[in-house]
Chains A and B, each alone.
Chain A
Amino acid sequence: MGTRKNQSSLTPAERAAFVAAVKALKASGAYDVFVTQHRTAFLAGPNDPAHGGPAFLSWHREYLRRFERALEGIDPTVSIPYWDWTVDRTAAASLWGPDFMGGNGTGADQRVTTGPFAFSTGEWSLTVRDPGDLTTFLTRAFGSMGALPTQQTVNAAKAVVPYDTAPWNANSSNNGSFRNRLEGVVHNPGHMWVGGSMMAMSSPNDPVFWLHHCNIDRLWAEWQREHPEQSYLPPSGTPGVVAGHALDDPMPPWNNESTPPTPRSVLDHHTLGYTYDNEPVSPQALPLTIDAPPVTASIGGAGEVDVFSFEVSSSGRYMIATEGTTDVVMGLYGPNDRTTLLVEDDDSGAGSNAQIARELAPGTYYARVRHYSGSSTGDYRILVTRADGSSAPPTLQINGPVVQGSIGTVNERDLYGFRVTAPGTYTIETAGNTDCVLRLFGPETPTNLVAEDDDSGPGANSRIVANLEPGTYFAEVQHYSPTGTGSYSISVRS
């Protein structure tokens, strides 16, 4: 999953990679298609699907993600950075450096003459322009029209609920419409402060457009997180709403695609494949035991995401599944990294349950579970099982041959089963030069601990002597040291 970072924290290499990807899109013509889409939205006037209405935020979230995917097609490491104007407020900010966005416009024509987007590079001429505009070079005029939003302005906007309100346009109350306040009081002034090309319907001609809108999108995501009880408004069918602006309306210009994006489809930005670098750390993961009974959990609030973890000690095929009547979506992440998505599933299980079966190497894995609907809640159960034929652990014969084993990777846990048919005293022990810890579980379940031993055997070996009733028992061997590996043998005698 890509991480959108504050532009001021980018390394020189990250700045260069972003600029190079943007210029590659310009050279291919793809960039100007994006500029045209934005201009076309404005030229629709009273039917503008992107501005002056509820879908202002959802339209631009979709638009930015499509642009970001185009950048990723050039360089998979690139994400759109954001410009936090509450901090970077002057022409001296690194944002405007000659290796990044370039500086302010100069002279009577306000021409940008520095940086990668100067006309003189021969690589940045404006071919998509507002009606009647003949200017082919980028222009800027910092601060000519008003000031950049302050933190106070941002905080006041983020405190507004609900999401939007009638008449669902630029006349919606700034105290009753988060969308209109963010659009009119925070977003518009950003365009106007930069001035020049950024004031136009064709404003994506200035690459800072993407960084400005990335920050707007980040503030929407923060508002969503801070007001989990607030959902997108209005629902489709609400009178007086411009087409494309209600919850389930297909959003132009993508409305003729086979599965067109809607405001609903972009509500959870994580499902679109990106995060912001200042999002709170993920909630504490709840550990699951492989082959244990299902664990009961709940999506208790709208938009809640539950995180589970489990340890795979040996390579094999595992199945992670939900049970119950709640329509959940589950993503599998890892190994040893809760941000690397392996696979996501919605309904492969029974009913509308999620189910993922996958070959996994040893390591820690994370399952993130959310409701299919960002506004719904419900209970479910989740379990992880070993899904291949080696589910049954290797068997030890009582008074049979000694079995050779090995702790091949750190923290590996080897599990053995043995069957007691007659009550009596049994001795389970390891042999060799490896300092093992031995645990005995059972009967029947590998989760009920009977006894544990470190060094009761010869040298550093383990030995458990136990009175056992008939049943199946499990012996688990682990290295004493969390960093240790080595070979051993194990046996059971009556």
Chain B
Amino acid sequence: MADHRETYKGRQIVISGTADKPELSIDGKAIFILQNSSGAYLASGFAFDPQPSPLELARKIIDYQQAGR
């Protein structure tokens, strides 16, 4: 799987790894993610708003970080 890179609200999201085991980083910092029993993605520090894909999860995390300042 080719890496997916995008800039979201000024932050750099990178999805790498494999389809079975994707890896996420934001601004170069790796973020631990895992899938729950319905296949949705959770992240370290972000367990209660599961998202259908690592990319959507990354955007939610950035939304939170910007809203919380």
- Give the distance in Å from the alpha carbon of A132 to the alpha carbon of B46 in the complex: 12
Identify which of A46, A145, A203 contacts B67 (C-beta below 8 A): A145
Given contacts A42-B42, A201-B42, A201-B44, 17 further A-B contacts (CB under 8 A): A48-B36, A51-B47, A52-B37, A52-B38, A108-B69, A110-B68, A131-B32, A131-B44, A141-B64, A141-B68, A145-B67, A167-B38, A187-B48, A196-B68, A199-B45, A201-B47, A203-B48
Contact indicator per residue, chain B 27-67, by CB within 8 Å of chain A (1) or not (0) = 00011101111101010111111100000000000011001
Chain A nearest CB, measured from B20 CB (Å): 12
Q: List 22 A-B contacts (CB under 8 A).
A: A42-B42, A43-B34, A45-B34, A52-B37, A52-B38, A130-B44, A131-B32, A132-B31, A141-B64, A141-B67, A144-B64, A169-B36, A170-B37, A170-B40, A170-B50, A199-B45, A199-B47, A200-B47, A201-B44, A201-B47, A203-B47, A242-B37
> How many Å lie between the Cα of A141 and that of B64 in the bound state?
9
CA distance A492 to B22 in the complex (A): 96
CA distance A4 to B22 in the complex (A): 44
Mark interface residues in A425-447 (1 if CB within 8 Å of B CB, else 0).
Answer: 00000000000000000000000
Contact between A133 and B45, CB atoms less than 8 A apart: yes
Known: A108-B69, A131-B44. A192 touches B38 (CB 8 A): no
- Given the complex, which residues of B lie within 8 Å of A188, measured CB to CB? 48-49
Q: Enumerate chain B residues within 8 angstroms of A53, measured Cβ to Cβ.
A: 37
Q: Tell me, yes or no, whether A5 is within 8 Å of chain B by CB.
A: no
B-binding residues in A (CB < 8 A) = 42-43, 45-48, 51-53, 108, 110, 130-133, 141, 144-145, 167, 169-171, 187-188, 191-192, 195-196, 198-201, 203, 242
The residue in chain B whose Cβ has the minimal distance to the Cβ of A107 is: B69
Is the CB–CB distance between B36 and A51 below 8 Å?
yes
The CA of A188 and the CA of B38, in the complex, are separated in Å by 16
Q: Which residues of A contact B42 (CB under 8 A)?
A: 42, 201
- Please, which residues of chain A bring their CB within 8 A of the CB of B31? 132
User: Which residues of chain B come closer than 8 Å to A48, judged between CB atoms?
Assistant: 36-37
B49 touches A145 (CB 8 A): yes
Q: Which of B30, B32, B35, B37 is the most central at the interface, judged by chain A CB atoms within 10 Å of its CB? A: B37
What residues of B have a CB within 8 angstroms of the CB of A169 in the complex? 36-38
Give complex CA distance A51, B30 in Å: 25
CB distance from B2 to the nearest CB of A (A): 25
- Measured between beta carbons, the chain B residues less than 8 angstroms from A144 are 64, 67-68
- Please give me the residue from chain A that is nearest to B66 by CB atom: A144
Q: A195 and B37: CB pair below 8 A? A: no
Assuming the A-B contacts A110-B68, A145-B64, are A42 and B37 also in contact, with contact meaning beta carbons closer than 8 angstroms in the complex? no
With A132-B31, A201-B47 in contact, is A195–B68 under 8 Å at CB?
Answer: yes
